[in-house]
Structure formats: C-alpha cells, structure tokens
Amino acid sequence: MALVLLSLVIGTGGSPVGRAWDFLLGDPAARADAQIRLAVMDVRLPRTLAALLVGTCLGAAGCLLQAATRNPLAETGLLGVNSGAALAVVVGLTFFGAGSPGALLVWALVGGMAASAVVLLLAGSGRTAGSPLRLVLAGSALGATFHGCTSYVLLGTQSTFDTYRYWTIGSLAGVEVSDLVPCCR
C-alpha cells in the first residue's frame, strides 16, 4: 500500500509531492488545481492500477504453474514458455508484419502455449514421465533452443530488433483508464 501511495504522489511533471498528497486527502484547493488533477488522476492512477493488475495476474499465473507442475521452482522462464513466446513474437514481426500490441499479444500467447505443449510432450515421455525434474530439464533445453532461434532471427533486421526490444522491456507510459476497462470484464 505504501508503494501504491508513493506512485500516486511522486512523479514527473513538476507536481510537488505535498500538493499531490493534499489532492489524495481531499483538500479542496488541491482538488481544484487542474495540473494536480491531471498528474494524479489521468497519469499516475492508471499506471498504478495497470501495474497492480499486471502484478496480480503474474503472481496468480506463477502460483497456478507451480501447482499444476507440482514443482515449487516452476516458472515460465525455466519451463521455456517465455522463450517460446519471444520466438513467436519475433516470427510475427519479421515474417508477418505483426506490429500492433494486440497482434503481438496473440503471437506471444500462441508461442507460449506451443512451447508449453512441446515441453509437456517431451517431459511426458519415457520411463520417468511426468517427473518435475524432467519437466524442468525439457523446459530448460527447449528454452535455450528457442532463445537461440530468436537471436538468429533478430540478427537479420534492425527494425524487428528495435520493436522486440521495446516489447520485451515493456512500459506503463501512456496507460489510460479506458485501457484497463477491457481487462476487468
């Protein structure tokens, strides 16, 4: 809660921390200040809510993944899901011209699911089928393979590399409350 409050009162734009704090506490003079209202309600609040929503979803996904695999070490990077999603995004950018955030999301989802399916198929075969160790080993091996393929494709075009780099780093800049409404339905 302290970090949420700090994210609402601290930021760029020349808005003093004290004025933002007064705005949150309901001071009429601060509430009448259009600059403070813009900074807190239109810029900082949507970013803070988006960060909370994303963090909650990532935490829930990690918990579900660990429960489903019966492995407390299971995480998407270790099981090859991240690398599969990244490879799909790079393929979508390079060969299919996918550039919109929605298209990249679809490519990442399909790549992550495909990588998960391949890892589960590999881990589910053989004498020790389904063991948590086999799952981690299959995920690590495929993750490294997918990462290598991603690097190979990225070396071909600078524009794909730039778009991929921005997509990988991510940003909460420009998030508006209207962007969050579809996520909460």
| pLDDT lower than 70: segments of the chain | 13, 128, 183-185
The 10s digit of each residue's pLDDT in 105-136 is 999 999 999 999 999 898 888 776 777 788 88
Residue 180 has what pLDDT?
A: 77
> What pTM did the predictor assign?
0.77
Residue 102 has what pLDDT?
A: 85
Domains of the chain, residue spans? 1-69, 72-176
Q: How far is it, in rounded angstroms, from Cα 106 to Cα 113?
A: 11
